[in-house]
Amino acid sequence: MKKVLLSSLALTVLAACSSTSNMSVNTVKGAPTEVRIVVNQVASTEGQLLVYLHDNADSYYSDDNYSASSIKYFHRMVVTPRIPATEVVLEGIPAGKYAISVVHDKDSDGTLDRMVFPFIGMPSEPYGLSNDAYSALSKGNFEDALVDIANQPQPIQINLATHLTKTFGG
């Protein structure tokens, strides 16, 4: 048991040390393109979907506060959720690499709600990340979530789930 706790602590420290630069991973501006995203596993129409396109690690690792002026999101938008899937179209996005995150903001407060009990800080609202990047202790790695957007022939699939479901199944 002690070994498991020490391993968990080490992983938490390593996750916290991830690069959080606000510099774009795209050094060259690509041709404008249309990005199609399908948000799957939408369980209700309450609230709103917060859709974020990240070109830097700093915005990706933020708490997804839609209104924060200090966070340098590449692009963000609010979408009305539709069951069981919601299609989102972003137009005029320069081709390049981006990570996508979506939050089902059920209470429409503009942020990803977090638990107080029993798992302090764990997200309580459904969310999804491109490439299903996921870590049991935190958001998945920014580099793992990057997708190359250059005239994508197929929509990018984002699967919503709560962090508890991602961690423990259900």
Compare 97 and 167 and report the one with higher pLDDT: 97
CA distances from 80 to 49, 77, 88, 112 (A): 6, 10, 10, 16
pTM: 0.83
Q: What are the extents of the domains in the chain?
A: 2-168
**Overall residue count recorded for the chain in this entry:** 170
The fold of 2-168 is: Immunoglobulin-like (2.60.40)
Alpha helices, DSSP H, located in the chain: 2-16, 57-60, 142-145, 163-168
Name the DSSP class of 130: G
Q: Is the pLDDT of residue 40 over 90?
A: yes
Beta-strand runs (E) in the chain: 32-40, 48-54, 75-79, 85-94, 96-105, 127-129, 146-149, 156-159
Q: Is the pLDDT of residue 131 over 80?
A: yes
